[in-house]
């Protein structure tokens, strides 16, 4: 099969490329080389000139652009219209986009309009024996599937971490404008504002170096026979503020709010890591007062370096689930860590 590739990217409102776009550039370049196939770049946004200049030396045959104020904000109708027009203009058989909420929202619909097929959450794309293979996880990251498709066009949203970010010199680019006619109905949805908690209350930080997991032990009776939830809360908040770590929790601790137990103020169900929780990606992880049970640890699949602090030398982490287990009192350890971070 002769392939033609399209690297499809929504440009941010400020003209920048989304963070994961650089990795997708590397992945598409490698695919192009492996298949001996050319690739186009398709950009849409309010103003894509800066982004196009940054990709000038990436090796694309053509730079297609849908530009205009109507395409500044994420909006299904205009984003899908732009992506559809770019895909049609390039005549690509395989369209690859960096996975973010904007892309994920429209890719399925756009693929349907072109009678294509779409796969999201791809963690790798590669060429094996001249065929494209895509890697994707199923069942809460427990089953890894490598799949091929005959059907074209094939739309793929590539997750972050799938390739090393591309970098190359910027330069002049001949942009080929692609026209999109919008109706009033397409512009009916208006972007108002982004609402998000203040930075110090935002405990889920996907870009953090470290995932800090708090388990139910923080709210259990301690050696003096008392519970010390307020102190636990203080220690954890201080650590998060000083380290910039992302906060994860076990099912046991996040469920406590609903069960009327002693709760940490910074912990919600959104923080839960594990089989029924999230599977975050961070270079390092530190589990504290958490037993390290399999349904929790399965959420640590993509954490590279794992450490845990637990009073129990026989806890789950000791059974090959952590690189380093500190058999120690997490209150004492984290108090000391905070002290060191302050000095
Ligand atoms: C189908 C299914 C799905 C599940 N999904 C998830 C999931 O998505 N995520 C998840 O987390 N769990 C999940 N679970 C539950 C999981 O099996 C565990 O029950 C849960 O993770 C235990 O939480 P924990 O380690 O915080 O609490 P505990 O098991 O109560 O462990 C507390 C730990 O704290 C230690 N400790 C206490 N005080 C201190 C101290 N001062 N210093 C150091 N250590 C101390 C204790 O030694 C103990 O090991 C699931 C279970 C099932 C059956």
Read off the pLDDT of each residue in 179-201 and give the average, rounded to a whole number: 87
Each residue of 201-238: pLDDT tens digit?
789 998 899 999 999 999 999 999 999 999 999 999 99
Q: What DSSP assignment string belongs to 145-184?
A: EEE----SSEEEEEPTTSSPPP--------EEE------T
Each residue of 94-134: pLDDT tens digit?
999 999 999 999 999 999 999 999 999 999 999 999 999 99
Q: Can you say how many angstroms the Cα of residue 140 is from the centroid of all Cα atoms in its chain?
A: 15
Mean pLDDT over each residue of the chain, to the nearest integer: 94
Model confidence, pTM: 0.74
Q: Are residues 146 and 236 in the same domain?
A: no
| Ligand 1 atom nearest 330 alpha carbon | 42
pLDDT of res. 59: 98
pLDDT band at residue 160 under the 50/70/90 scheme: confident
pLDDT of res. 156: 98
Q: Are residues 16 and 108 in the same domain?
A: yes
Q: Are residues 74 and 222 in the same domain?
A: no
Which structural domain range is residue 305 located in?
A: 199-342
In-domain check, residue 192? no
CA of 297 to the centre of ligand 1 (A): 10
Q: Can you say how many angstroms the Cα of residue 200 is from the centroid of all Cα atoms in its chain?
A: 21
Q: Report the CATH number that the domain containing residue 223 is assigned in CATH.
A: 3.40.50.1220
Cis, peptide link before residue 153, omega less than 30° from 0: yes
| Ligand 1 atom nearest 215 alpha carbon | 26
| Ligand 1 atom nearest 315 alpha carbon | 49
Among candidate residues 43, 119, 41, the one with its CA nearest the CA of residue 79: 43
Which residue's alpha carbon is at the smallest distance from atom 48 of ligand 1? Answer: 291
What the block records as the tokens of 122 is 């791809």
Domain closes at, from 155, 187, 219: 187
Q: Are residues 170 and 203 in the same domain?
A: no
pLDDT band at residue 281 under the 50/70/90 scheme: confident
The answer for residues whose C-beta is within 8 angstroms of residue 217's C-beta and 6 or more apart is 288, 289, 290, 291, 310, 311, 330
Q: Report the CATH number that the domain containing residue 36 is assigned in CATH.
A: 3.40.50.620
Q: Are residues 40 and 95 in the same domain?
A: yes
Q: Are residues 39 and 147 in the same domain?
A: yes
In-domain check, residue 161? yes
Domain closes at, from 161, 187, 213: 187
pLDDT band at residue 173 under the 50/70/90 scheme: very high
d(CA 156, CA 266): 36
Q: Are residues 277 and 249 in the same domain?
A: yes
Give the number of other CB atoms < 10 A from CB of residue 269: 13
Inter-residue contact 211 to 280 (CB < 8 Å): yes
Best residue for ligand 1 mutational test, from 222, 264, 296 (most atoms within 8 Å of Cβ): 296
Inter-residue contact 155 to 80 (CB < 8 Å): no
Better-predicted residue by pLDDT, 269 or 93: 93
pLDDT of res. 260: 67
Q: Are residues 85 and 147 in the same domain?
A: yes
Domain closes at, from 187, 221, 239: 187
In-domain check, residue 194? no
Residues with CB under 6 A from ligand 1: 215-217, 220, 222, 250-253, 272-277, 289-291, 293, 295-296, 299, 309-312, 315, 329-331
In-domain check, residue 221? yes
pLDDT of res. 140: 67
Q: Are residues 217 and 113 in the same domain?
A: no
Whether the predicted pLDDT of 297 surpasses 80 = yes
Inter-residue contact 18 to 51 (CB < 8 Å): no
CA of 281 to the centre of ligand 1 (A): 20
CA of 38 to the centre of ligand 1 (A): 51
| Ligand 1 atom nearest 272 alpha carbon | 9
| Ligand 1 atom nearest 292 alpha carbon | 25
Q: Are residues 119 and 265 in the same domain?
A: no
Which residue's alpha carbon is at the smallest distance from atom 37 of ligand 1? Answer: 217
Q: Are residues 126 and 233 in the same domain?
A: no
pLDDT of res. 162: 86
Q: Are residues 254 and 135 in the same domain?
A: no
Domain count, the chain: 2
């Amino acid at each position: 099969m002769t392939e033609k590739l399209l690297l499809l990217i929504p440009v941010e409102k400020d003209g920048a490329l989304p963070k994961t776009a650089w990795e997708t550039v590397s992945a598409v370049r490698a695919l192009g080389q492996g298949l001996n196939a050319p690739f186009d770049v398709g950009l849409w946004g309010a103003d894509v000139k800066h982004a196009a200049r940054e990709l000038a030396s990436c090796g694309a045959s053509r730079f297609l652009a849908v530009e205009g104020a109507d395409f500044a904000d994420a909006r299904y109708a205009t984003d899908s219209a732009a992506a559809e027009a770019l895909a049609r203009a390039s005549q690509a058989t395989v369209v690859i986009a960096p996975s973010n909420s904007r892309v994920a929202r429209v890719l399925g619909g756009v693929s349907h309009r072109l009678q294509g097929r779409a796969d999201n959450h791809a963690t790798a794309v590669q060429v094996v024996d001249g065929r494209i293979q895509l890697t994707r996880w199923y069942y809460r990251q427990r089953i890894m599937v490598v799949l091929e498709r005959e059907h074209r066009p094939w739309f793929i949203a590539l997750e972050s971490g799938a390739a090393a970010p591309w970098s190359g010199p910027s330069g002049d680019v001949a942009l080929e404008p692609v026209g999109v006619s919008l109706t009033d109905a397409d512009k009916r949805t208006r972007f108002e504002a982004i609402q998000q908690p203040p930075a110090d209350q935002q405990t889920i930080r996907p870009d953090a170096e470290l995932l800090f997991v708090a388990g139910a032990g923080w709210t259990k009776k301690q050696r003096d026979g008392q519970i010390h939830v307020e102190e636990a809360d203080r220690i954890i908040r201080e650590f998060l503020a000083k380290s910039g770590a992302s906060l994860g929790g076990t099912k046991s601790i996040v469920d406590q709010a609903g069960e009327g137990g002693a709760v940490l103020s910074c912990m919600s169900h959104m923080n839960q890591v594990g089989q029924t929780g999230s599977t975050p990606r961070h270079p390092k992880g530190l589990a504290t007062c958490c037993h390290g049970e399999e349904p929790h640890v399965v959420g640590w699949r993509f954490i590279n370096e794992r450490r845990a602090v637990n009073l129990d030398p026989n806890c789950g982490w000791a059974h090959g689930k952590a690189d380093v287990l500190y058999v120690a009192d997490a209150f004492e350890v984290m108090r000391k860590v905070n002290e060191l971070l302050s000095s």
